């Protein structure tokens, strides 16, 4: 046995259920028709067998159909010896948005999780001691709060900023889809809960700023904790090295926050803007860019990023949107243009000219030092990327939905064209997969779910711009994938679905003595690219889409992370408005 979760069921469904108003895709792995029955065992429909096709990523032979119009209710699908219960409902996405936001609440650090909010998943206040500055241990600062990043207890500025970015744009674009009451301590305070939860992280990001305006890259111990509860993890924590990428990400998200929170709390809005401006001044005055690498002796997540141009771009877009100062817009334009041709010095009068030069040198140096990282050459900003390393897409959202025509012909017209070209690629990826999964065979990396949700965000945005329903349905298929319509017959979201991940790499889930994992977490998903040797040993030549083990120790596939939850919040909030 190579994989502990091989499924014999030949019908694959969205285990959370289908919307009455949207396509209802299922996948079938048998050369037989499918029958739909109601709860009284009456046959409702028969779906012809259309022929199987070979799915390269999974090695499965499969066919997919849309069940079409079905009234709200519960049904059973049958095919050969397999059966699967499905639900069709009016609002299947609400529970998803809520539990994914609540998942972030469960990551809160520095406070107690009380049973009235956390149910059985309580813990005492954790990581409450002052942290020492790594380079000078005599300097200490109290920097509590924020979310634990993932299965570990580290807290990192860039991943946090990106996660909040997804949530704030979800609110900005789909306020009605961000259902409100998720039962967190702030519930009922007049601010929507998605913003309450995001603010918990923003308050921490504010504390990560040094007096000179720079932001520390991260706040972690020098090693990962064992599988203990967070309050038992009492070894010293450190404020580790300020970085350019962390600073630019913080500037961007704080500038964005300043606009969004203004009507709820003008003081907070002012604080975030002030901090963003201080950060941007530091960036202008300190252009000696060096990609972050862990200092000697630090073993926690690196989140190293060789390119800072996308972070600068996002920051300039948000600063312009918030302050209206033309200089930020011109700089964002120059960055957008220069990214198309980094080899020739088109930087002209760029404010960040020096920083871009340093980035070029650093990229060359890192390509030599770490050839296995496969650092690609920049050929234009990747306007459809929304991950922790490439944030160009967040800048694109600012241009497309906040600035619009005010962004001018380059950052509105050209950027939109670029975005729409890239989203066509996302859709063709969906159409090439027999499971309609937006991953090419080589895309099953550590955190493949980020690739899936990135593409889902991209197609959602394309639909908002064009009204193309193929794009909307492409995005929908990625939600289906995450919830069980996949080669593993497994929901990758804890607590959701009839066959969901049980043993995520998540310290509280492993240490709390409760059998069920903490609910509302998206795991990284199949990964046959950057795997542990023990994983290779177990899975050998298993196809990419099945390269997955639901066991705690396999962080390379089964870890959770805040920035895998948040793009799914964005997409499910959108579908919750339909
Ligand atoms: O999400 C990160 C992924 O893209 C990297 O390939 C991987 C290995 O460096 O690290 C992931 O991030 C982890 C971070 O370094 C530490 N906290 C847990 C994160 C999720 O696995
Ligand atoms: Zn903590």
Give tens-digit pLDDT for 538-557: 999 999 999 999 999 999 99
d(CA 528, CA 442): 9
The alpha carbon of 74 and the centre of ligand 1 are apart by a number of angstroms equal to 39
Q: In Å, what is the CA distance from 465 to each residue of 13, 165, 413, 419?
A: 29, 20, 12, 10
- One domain, residues 355 and 416: yes
The single-letter DSSP state of residue 78 is E
Residues 101 and 182 sit within 8 Å (Cβ to Cβ): yes
Q: 131 C-alpha vs ligand 2 centroid, how far in Å?
A: 12
What is the pLDDT, as a whole number, of residue 153?
98
The reported pLDDT for the residue numbered 2 is 45
Is the pLDDT at 452 greater than 90? The verdict is: yes
Four-point Cα dihedral 363, 369, 375, 379, nearest 10? 30
Report whether residue 152 contacts ligand 1, using a CB cutoff of 6 Å: yes
pLDDT at 343 over 80: no
Give the residue, out of 372, 561, 567, with the most ligand 1 atoms within 8 A of its beta carbon, to mutate for a pocket test. 561
CATH number of the domain that 71 lies in?
Answer: 2.60.40.10
% residues pLDDT > 70 (the chain): 98
Does residue 354 surpass a pLDDT of 90?
yes
Which pairing describes strands 131-133 and 238-242: parallel, antiparallel, or unpaired?
parallel
| Cα(239) to centroid(ligand 2), Å | 14
Range of the domain at 248: 94-482+559-575
Looking at the structure, do residues 62 and 188 belong to the same domain, yes or no?
A: no
Q: Domain check: are 39 and 146 in the same one?
A: no
Query: Does a structural domain hold residue 162?
Result: yes
- Report whether pLDDT(279) > 50: yes
Residue 46 shares a structural domain with residue 145: no
Question: Residue 474 pLDDT > 70, yes or no?
Answer: yes
Asked whether residue 451 is assigned to any structural domain, the reply reads: yes
- Residue 155: pLDDT over 80: yes
Q: Does 356 share its domain with 464?
A: yes
Tell me which ligand sits closest to the C-alpha of residue 506. Answer: 1
Q: Is 301 in the pocket of ligand 1 (CB under 6 A)?
A: yes
**Do 342 and 478 reside in the same domain of the chain?**
yes
In a domain, 537, yes or no: no
Pocket of ligand 1, candidates 446, 509, 524: which has the most ligand atoms within 8 Å of its Cβ, to mutate?
Answer: 446
Together in a domain, 329 and 379: yes
Same domain, 81 and 204: no
User: What is the percent of the chain where pLDDT is above 90?
Assistant: 95
> Does 439 reside within a domain?
yes
- Which pLDDT value is given to residue 341? 83
Banded pLDDT at 306 (limits 50, 70, 90)? very high
Q: How far is the CA of 148 from the centre of ligand 1 (A)?
A: 13
Cα(121)–Cα(30) distance, rounded to whole angstroms? 41
Whether 21 maps to a domain, the answer reads yes
Q: Is the CB of residue 559 below 6 angstroms from any atom belonging to ligand 1?
A: yes
Question: How many Å apart are CA 312 and CA 356, to the nearest integer?
Answer: 10
Q: Which of 73-82, 322-331, 370-379, 470-479 has the lowest mean pLDDT?
A: 370-379
pLDDT of residue 345: 60
Domain end residue (candidates: 73, 92, 111): 92
Do 48 and 171 lie in one domain? The reply is no
User: Angle at Cα 300 formed by Cα 294 and Cα 303, nearest 5°?
Assistant: 60
In a domain, 324, yes or no: yes
Band of residue 1 on the pLDDT scale cut at 50, 70, 90:
very low
447 lines ligand 1 (CB under 6 A): yes
Q: What is the mean pLDDT of residues 216-224?
A: 98
Residues 54, 106 share a domain:
no
CA of 301 to the centre of ligand 1 (A): 6
Q: Which atom of ligand 1 is nearest to the CA of 151?
A: 18
Token pair, residue 36, equals 């739909």
Q: In the prediction, which pLDDT does 507 show?
A: 98
**Does the structure show a pLDDT above 50 at 259?**
yes
Residues 260 and 201 in one domain: yes
The pTM for the full model equals: 0.98
Q: Per the structure, how many domains does the chain have? A: 2
**Average pLDDT rounded to a whole number, residues 32-54:** 97
Domain boundary among 68, 92, 116: 92
The pLDDT, as a whole number, for residue 148 is: 98
CATH number at residue 178: 1.50.10.10
- How many angstroms separate the alpha carbon of residue 230 from the centre of ligand 2? 5
For residue 255, being part of any structural domain is answered with yes
The residue whose CB lies within 8 Å of the most ligand 1 atoms, and thus the one to mutate among 147, 150, 153, is 150
132 & 213 share domain = yes
| Residue that terminates a domain, selected from 92, 123, 142 | 92
Please report how the helices 353-369 and 309-323 are oriented relative to each other, as an axis angle in degrees rounded to 10: 150
Any ligand 1 atom below 6 A from CB of 373: no
Q: Sorting pLDDT into bands at 50, 70 and 90, what band is 347? A: low
Average pLDDT, the chain: 96
> Mean of the pLDDT values across residues 25-44?
97
pLDDT band at 25 (very low <50, low <70, confident <90, very high): very high
Q: Is residue 494 part of a domain?
A: no
């Amino acid at each position: 046995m190579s994989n502990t979760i091989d499924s014999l069921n030949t019908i694959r469904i969205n285990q959370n259920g289908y919307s009455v108003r949207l396509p209802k895709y299922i996948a079938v792995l048998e050369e037989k028709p499918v029958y739909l029955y109601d709860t009284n065992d009456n046959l409702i429909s028969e779906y012809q067998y259309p022929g199987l096709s070979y799915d390269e990523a999974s090695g499965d032979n499969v066919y997919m159909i849309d069940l079409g119009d079905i009234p709200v209710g519960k049904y059973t699908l049958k095919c050969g010896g397999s059966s699967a219960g499905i639900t069709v409902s009016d609002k299947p996405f609400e529970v998803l948005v809520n539990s994914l936001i609540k998942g972030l609440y469960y990551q809160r650090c520095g406070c107690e999780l009380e049973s009235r909010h956390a149910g059985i998943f309580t813990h005492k206040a954790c990581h409450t001691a002052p942290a020492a500055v790594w380079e000078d241990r005599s300097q200490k600062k109290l920097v509590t709060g924020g979310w634990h990043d993932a299965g570990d207890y580290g807290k990192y500025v860039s991943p946090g900023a990106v996660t909040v970015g997804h949530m704030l744009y979800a609110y900005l674009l789909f306020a009605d889809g961000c259902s409100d009451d998720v039962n967190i301590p702030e519930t009922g305070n007049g601010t929507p809960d998605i913003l309450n939860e995001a603010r918990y992280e923003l308050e921490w990001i504010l504390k990560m700023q040094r007096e000179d305006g720079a932001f520390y890259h991260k706040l972690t111990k020098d090693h990962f904790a064992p599988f203990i509860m967070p309050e038992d993890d009492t070894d010293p924590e450190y404020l580790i090295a300020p970085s350019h990428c962390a600073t630019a990400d913080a500037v961007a998200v704080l500038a964005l926050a300043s606009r969004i929170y203004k009507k709820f709390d003008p003081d907070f809005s002012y604080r975030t803007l002030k901090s963003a401006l201080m950060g941007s001044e530091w960036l202008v005055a300190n252009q000696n860019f060096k990609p972050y690498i862990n200092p000697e002796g630090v073993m926690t997540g690196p989140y190293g990023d060789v390119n800072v141009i996308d972070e600068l771009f996002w920051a300039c877009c948000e600063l312009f949107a918030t302050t209206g100062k033309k200089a930020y817009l011109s700089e964002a334009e120059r960055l957008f243009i220069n990214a198309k041709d980094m080899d020739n010095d088109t930087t002209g009068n760029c404010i960040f000219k020096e920083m871009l030069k340093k980035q070029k040198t650093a990229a060359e140096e890192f390509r030599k030092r770490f050839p296995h990282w496969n650092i690609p050459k920049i050929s234009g900003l990747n306007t459809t990327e929304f991950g922790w390393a490439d944030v160009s897409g967040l800048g694109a959202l600012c241009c497309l939905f906040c600035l619009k025509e005010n962004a001018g012909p380059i950052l509105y017209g050209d950027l939109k064209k670029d975005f729409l070209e890239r989203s066509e690629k996302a859709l063709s990826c969906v159409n090439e997969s027999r499971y309609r999964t937006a991953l090419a065979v080589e895309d099953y990396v550590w955190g493949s779910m980020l690739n899936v949700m990135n593409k889902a965000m991209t197609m959602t945005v394309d639909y908002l711009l064009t009204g193309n329903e193929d794009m909307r349905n492409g995005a929908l298929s990625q939600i289906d994938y995450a919830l069980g319509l996949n080669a593993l017959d497994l929901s990758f979201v804890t607590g959701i679905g009839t066959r969901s991940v049980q043993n995520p790499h998540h310290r509280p889930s492993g240490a709390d003595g409760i059998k069920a994992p903490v609910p509302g977490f998206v795991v990284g998903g199949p990964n046959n690219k950057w795997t542990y040797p023990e994983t290779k040993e177990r899975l050998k030549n298993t196809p990419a889409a099945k390269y997955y083990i639901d066991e705690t120790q396999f962080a390379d596939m089964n870890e959770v992370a805040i920035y895998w939850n948040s793009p799914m919040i964005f997409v499910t909030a959108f579908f919750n408005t339909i």
